[in-house]
Structure 1
Amino acid sequence: MHAGSIPARASILDRNDSAAGTVCRPGLAFCARGGQGSGMELVNAYARIIAHITELCGGSDKFAHTYIGLAIWLATLIVMRRPLTDWRALIPLMLLEGANEVMDRLAVGSWMVPETLKDIAATLFWPVTIILLVRIGAVRLAAQEGAAAGDAATERSNSDATPAFARTQRIDRPRAAAR
């Protein structure tokens, strides 16, 4: 998107007006309002950072949520040294997403429930999908290995107690000499 172009779904809030203390996310009705000394400096700074990250991710905040959510989850797995199937690695991601939504709420002035739910879904989609797919694959693999081990156990129980090497070779023992 070019700097001067305005998307078709843009609202009056799709602008940056530093003189008025307003910072908005492109393409969404998201603005942090308030000027100097209003207690909104942190929220305004956060909104500017988020707007910059959103631009880097292709201009859609849902892409930003997806990319950042996946990156945070993978970083958490690495730091915690956990496997892909560990759901506990989602906890820091959910906490950070919750904090992000609180900052959005402070910036806008009220909850935008549909947007909040879409943001949460976009953030958690790939981590949860990967966890489920790997778990399903692990369950199937374990079931296949269990079935293979069960077949081997059944084969062993059906045979006599003679060890396998003894069944495959004939062991000749010298006979005692007849006296």
Structure 2
Amino acid sequence: MLPKLYHQWIDWVGDGTGLPDTILHIHAGMALLMIARLITRRSFGTFIPWTVVAAGEAFNEIMDRLNYGSWRWDDTLIDVANTMFWPTVICLGVRLRPIIGKRGR
């Protein structure tokens, strides 16, 4: 029951915004990253906010799996990539910034 309600809510968000699933995943990943950063007050470089995004995306994909009855790997892998790409780039960039800065001196 919960997976079906969750999927209906996701469809409602997509229909209401008119945005394709790909863009919604990118926005959701960035929103989760920022919310986690604000709530935890931890730097992006700690990977704590990134972990929240990963957990959120895992929840989303598990709900998809439960709703559809099987994994849809093509869809799942694209969703994970779209959700995690920019949070990963930001976290790595913040984490590596001190290392790159020291080499440039």
Is the CA contact (8 Å cut-off) linking 1:105 and 1:111 kept in structure 2?
yes
Is the CA contact (8 Å cut-off) linking 1:57 and 1:63 kept in structure 2?
no
Q: Provide the secondary structure at the position in 2 that maps to 1:59.
A: coil
Match of 1:53 in 2: 13
5+ residue gaps, structure 2: none
Q: What is the one-letter code of the residue matched to 1:116?
A: T
Q: Distance in 2 between matches of 1:66 and 1:112?
A: 19
Q: Does 1:106 align with 2:73?
A: no
Going by fraction, where is helix more abundant, 1 or 2? 2
Count of residue correspondences? 105
Q: Provide the secondary structure at the position in 1 that maps to 2:74.
A: helix
Q: Distance in 2 between matches of 1:134 and 1:55?
A: 35
Among candidates 34, 39, 50, match of residue 79 of structure 1: 39
Q: Deviations over 1:83-124 (max 9, x none)?
A: 122212222221121111111011111110111111111111
- TM-score after normalising by structure 2: 0.86
Match of 2:78 in 1: 118
Identity fraction in percent: 31
Q: Distance in 2 between matches of 1:45 and 1:129?
A: 32
Q: Distance in 1 between matches of 2:91 and 2:56?
A: 19
1:124–1:47 Cα change, 3 Å: same
Q: Report the RMSD for the aligned CA atoms in angstroms.
A: 1.7
Match of 2:98 in 1: 138
Structure 1 residue 54, shift from structure 2 partner:
1.9
Structure 1 residue 56, shift from structure 2 partner:
4.1
Is the CA contact (8 Å cut-off) linking 2:45 and 2:91 kept in structure 1?
yes
Q: Deviations over 1:29-85 (max 9, x none)?
A: xxxxxxxxxxx3x22221111012223444311111110111011111111111122
User: Which has the higher relative contact order, 1 or 2, with Cα contacts under 8 A spaced 6 or more apart?
Assistant: 2
User: Which structure has the greater CA radius of gyration?
Assistant: 1
Q: Distance in 1 between matches of 2:16 and 2:100?
A: 39
